Chain A
Amino acid sequence: MELKRLELENFRQFRDDAITFANGSEKNVTVVHGQNGSGKTTLLNAFTWLFYDDVDFDTRPERLASEGAMAEAAVGDKVDVSVRLSFDHEGVEYVAERNAVYEKQSSDDFDGEVTEMDLQLKYRENGSWATRNNASNKLDQILPERLSGLFFFDGEDIDELAGIDNQDRIQEAIQNIMGLTILERATKHLGDAAGRFENEIQESASEELAELIDQKQAIEEEIDALKREQDDVQRNIEHIEQEISDIDQKLERLDESAALQERRSEYEEEVQELETDIERINDQIKEQLSEEGVVPLAMPLIRETAEELDAMRERGEIPSELSDSFIESLLQAEQCICGRELEQGTQPYEHVVGRRGDTIEDGVEQAALRIVGQLNRIAEIESDFLEEIDELTAQRRELHDEVEDWEEKIDDVSTELQKMDSTTDEGLSPSQLENNREQKLAERDDLIGEEAAIEQKIDDKNEAISEIETEIDDQQDEHAETLLAKKRRKAAKEVEHELQTVFDNLKNKVRRWSNERIQSEFSEIATKDLQAEISEDFALKIWQQVGDEQIEVDKSRGERQIASLAFIGSLVDIAQERYESEAESEYFDTGGIYPIVMDSPFGALDKTHRREVSEAIPRLANQVVVFATDAQWEGPVEDEMEDIVGEVYWLNFTDGEGVDNHPQTRIETEQMAARGD
């Protein structure tokens, strides 16, 4: 899709204005300058109104018709509101136009009432224009509504993608770009279908089976109630943590307690660092366990097998021919199965070479020899494994002791603060604040315990459900319809499970694709030695290399914004790649080429990050439209982007003070704006 021209008539503060968009590979950026309140967000909404009849305004969302046009109209008069967009898509020229007619109801009615709404989509074929039936569907095919938030967005909010706990939005975006939502919906429908079949089973089932289904459904309801309870507890925890942080800030501001509070923050940081170290040791223990944990347990099995094979070999029950490939593998490793070195020219080496020439394939004896050959290696790993684990456990114990020491110091600070009972001019006393804080901490700990207990209950209930499900499946029921419904329910469940697996795999595949692009894009833009990635749980994270280790860093707003833009850029890339790829896929949408329209992507950023974001923007998509205030634009942004800007506009807003004047914005080109100045 390539935007060509946008025309607005009586749309909010625009009376009769137009923008022609920059195209081409050299200068693909269109800039629209406008002060706050001049209509930048209105322009963004013009796109979503045209495509999906959807707007998102903070002020007076019901007032779509121009205030000036409504004021000039007499009661009963009609005002035409329209947005018209010319664009190319897959080599075809289109003009989309949404038109709404507002009728003025009374002399002080500036909103009007919609009497007609019409959407038309024209396209040019063989030189002449034709109209598409079902314009709304076609437009949704060209730019699906589920994707619109990714391509038409408020730049000031975009950093939220990389904020804390935004995994859901990242996952949703990934699902949307690949059309995986269809799979998600199918999975849900199958779940519903399984539920319906279960009801059918119950209707025709024996008393015993019906009782089991009743039990299962009752437990499911209990789980739902527990999940709601869990959400409430989580919200309460967040609320209390905010209160604790507010108290900390107050203690930091009070002269009497500032030093102590500062010290406590330092101690808490120490504890946090130690806990990170403990976590790292835990990870090392897990790594050991994953790689070699099986060895000590496997030892009896391998030894018994080796002994038996040895006895069989002595009895001649295992053929003793050795294949060339086995001999070669020993020579290449320069080691015999016992660990003896096989250095070229030595006697053992020649012995082994002498065994070459047999014509048999790798067989039973080779397998037996390999097993015996593993014994020495395994015995070594076995003793190393436990030694390593013991060492790690000892290190962890030491760190725990250190944590205890710091926690004692933190308690001492608290005790000291509790003794400071003098009241400040603002009527605050550190002792009162500290007591309050202690109480909040206790409340929070109780809630955390409560949440864990709820989680445990949910786990237990889920387990009870899976036991009942096995019982349901094992029930022999004589009614044919029950059996049929049971079979159907089982099939629906199985397909749901399979689809869920496919769905998760695809989502992860797209996550990995997206990651490759984010990593290269982000490291190219970001000033510091930072890397961005979408973690396995779909959080957009930023890492810094410190020595041999990667440490997750607290993201500044600028870094969050760059990471988020890199993520969006990766999705644009993926959509384009899918579009250009020949391969058909039954699960994916076919992708597309999309422009990006951004409102204020530089707001609230410092100069360095503005420059970095400016570098990133033209790379995001084939065509980019940026709305920015003069203050956001001037300086590094202008320096970086002036060469690639193809079209520039100014939103000149007049607030319309005076009896017959009303707020209005004119979209003017650079030359006209200059003349106006």
Chain B
Amino acid sequence: MRTQKYKKSELYDRVVETHEIFENSYDFMVFLAVVGYRENQKITSNYLGSNGMSGEIGVDNLKGNELYRTVMACLAFQDTGDPSALVDEGQQSKTLAQYAAGGLDFAEKEFGKVAGDPTDAIVNYIRTAQDDEPGSGGELEKIVESFDEEIMKGT
């Protein structure tokens, strides 16, 4: 089974084990990677962690989840600008770990210092991020439709 190391901190233990906010470490890792992308924080050195501050996940856990697979492919594509990254598993795992490490640094500052259960702080962060988001409206549909036509045009 392929595995991927990642940078860990006490926040992982708090969020996954103590307060059981995310069911698995890999759920939190994907969350952090998305936070890292959003906040434009990516770590390219020491993104695997060290000194007991390192974790390891089975890549199959991520591949088994359609959404996570999409997130990983998108991160790898955004990072390299190369469409072949969409099918390059090694590149995807690496980019995920780099953004997750960046996201972890941000999360430590944003809700790492909250005393007790940080669930509400995380929800508030998501809500704020959502409010900042420009309405996507018809844009999405247009893209989907344009790809759909590609399939429908027949041979």
Contacts and interface: CB of A to CB of B under 8 A. Distances in A.
Interface of A: 282-283, 285-287, 289-290, 293-310, 312-314, 317-318, 320, 322, 330, 336-340, 348, 351-352, 354-355, 357, 362-364, 367-376, 378-379, 382, 386, 389, 393, 452, 456, 459, 462-463, 466, 469-470, 473, 490, 493-494, 497
A69 B139 CA distance: 100
B91 interface: no
B13 to A, nearest CB: 11
B53 A368 contact: no
Task: Determine which residue in B52, B78, B151, B154 has the highest number of CB atoms from chain A within 10 A of its CB, and name it.
Answer: B151
Nearest to B74: A305
Task: Determine which residue in B52, B70, B123 has the highest number of CB atoms from chain A within 10 A of its CB, and name it.
Answer: B70
Contact of A322 (B84, B139, B146, B151): B151
Given A290-B21, A294-B30, A351 B154 contact: yes
Interface string B123-155: 100110110010010011101111110111111
B43 interface: no
A340 B152 CA distance: 11
A432 B21 CA distance: 45
Contacts of B146: 310, 313-314
Contacts of A286: 19-22, 119
Nearest to A312: B83
Contacts of A494: 51-52
B104 interface: no
B87 A364 contact: yes
Contacts of A386: 126-127, 130
Interface in B77-91: 77-78, 83-84, 86-87
Task: Determine which residue in B21, B35, B74 has the highest number of CB atoms from chain A within 10 A of its CB, and name it.
Answer: B74
A320 B83 CA distance: 13
Is chain A's binding surface mostly helix, strand, loop or mixed? helix
Contacts of A338: 144-145, 147-148
B133 A364 contact: no
5 closest A-B pairs (Cβ-Cβ)?
A367-B86, A338-B148, A305-B74, A497-B52, A297-B34
B115 interface: yes
B122 interface: yes
B111 interface: no
A313 B129 contact: no
B38 interface: yes
A301 B53 contact: no
Contact of A305 (B34, B35, B78, B154): B78
B59 interface: no
A443 to B, nearest CB: 22
Given A300-B133, A313-B147, A371 B70 contact: yes
Contact of B122 (A289, A318, A340): A289
B57 interface: no
23 contacts: A285-B119, A286-B20, A286-B21, A286-B22, A304-B78, A305-B78, A306-B140, A307-B139, A310-B143, A317-B83, A338-B147, A354-B155, A362-B87, A367-B87, A369-B151, A370-B73, A373-B147, A374-B67, A375-B140, A382-B130, A386-B127, A463-B10, A473-B51
B73 to A, nearest CB: 6
A306 B154 contact: no
A290 B29 CA distance: 11
B151 to A, nearest CB: 6
B147 A369 contact: yes
B74 A371 contact: yes
B123 to A, nearest CB: 6
B110 interface: no
A314 to B, nearest CB: 8
B51 A289 contact: no
A283 B19 CA distance: 10
Given A290-B27, A375-B143, A301 B75 contact: yes
A318 B83 contact: yes
Contact of B144 (A312, A318, A376, A490): A376
Contacts of A354: 154-155
A297 B126 contact: yes
B69 to A, nearest CB: 8
A289 B143 contact: no
B74 A301 contact: yes
B84 A364 contact: yes
Contacts of A285: 119, 123
Task: Determine which residue in A312, A367, A456, A469 has the highest number of CB atoms from chain B within 10 A of its CB, and name it.
Answer: A367
B46 to A, nearest CB: 10
Contact of B152 (A306, A352, A452, A469): A352
B122 to A, nearest CB: 6
Contacts of A470: 51
B20 A293 contact: no
Nearest to B83: A364
B152 A364 contact: no
Given A297-B31, A298-B70, A369-B150, 19 more contacts: A282-B117, A287-B23, A293-B122, A296-B129, A298-B67, A300-B38, A302-B71, A305-B73, A307-B139, A337-B144, A338-B147, A354-B155, A355-B155, A368-B86, A370-B73, A386-B126, A389-B123, A466-B53, A470-B51
